[in-house]
Amino acid sequence: MNVLIGYIQKIFALFLLLVVARQLIPNGRLKKYIYFFTELVLIIGVMQPFFSFWGDNDALLDKIRSETFTENLSEASRDISRMEYLRNDYYRKEYEDAAALDVLSTADGYLDPFGLAGKRASVELTENYEVKKIVLTVGEKEEDDTEGMFVEQGKAQGSKVVLDGLKQRLMQYYGAEEEQIQISYGGER
């Protein structure tokens, strides 16, 4: 009996709330829509006990919580995957920069006797941190840097022969194929 009295009190309170809400709205174009909405809310309020026969409220809330938890867990898993991907990209970029400096050092060591020097280098690595591509720009050393008797000999041999020799050295050192190494002449350091 207390359940029935509580139900009637809730419906009466909902009815009063909706009547007050209807009185507060000004006359206008939206009045018929607001009336429809308040009537719909009242009908749902009256029908609420019949809806509880179709399902247990606690079971429904448990299902909603479980679904929310599963969704949050999958979202966290996606976030972790993205962070690992970004972290791997960061480390690969650091290794590429270090390898580029090493390529410049190797090139300078080889080219120094010929009056040439490495100006710019970039290295692209695969996901397994293997050399995918090496791009190197070579140019003449500054006038005050050139010393040694092989400078004129290097210029006499031509830069093509010197650059081919450098490409061979880089292929051996990095275990790369010929098409993975691109060396061009010109540019500034």
Determine the pLDDT at residue 135. Answer: 92
> Is 163 within 8 Å of 185 (Cβ atoms)?
yes
The answer, as to whether pTM is greater than 0.75, is: no
Determine the pLDDT at residue 14. Answer: 84
How many CB atoms are closer than 10 A to CB 162?
21
Domains of the chain, residue spans: 2-54, 93-185
Within the chain, which residues score under 50 in pLDDT?
Answer: 145-151, 153-157, 187-189
Determine the pLDDT at residue 148. Answer: 47
Angstrom distance (rounded) from CA 136 to CA 189: 11
Residue closest to 176 by CA, chosen among 138, 142, 125, 139:
125
Determine the pLDDT at residue 21. Answer: 79
Q: In the beta sheet, which residues pair with residue 139?
A: 117
φ and ψ at residue 29, rounded to 5 degrees: -70, -30
pLDDT per residue as tens digits for the range 105-144? 988 888 888 888 888 999 998 877 788 899 998 888 876 5
CATH code of the domain occupying 93-185: 3.30.300
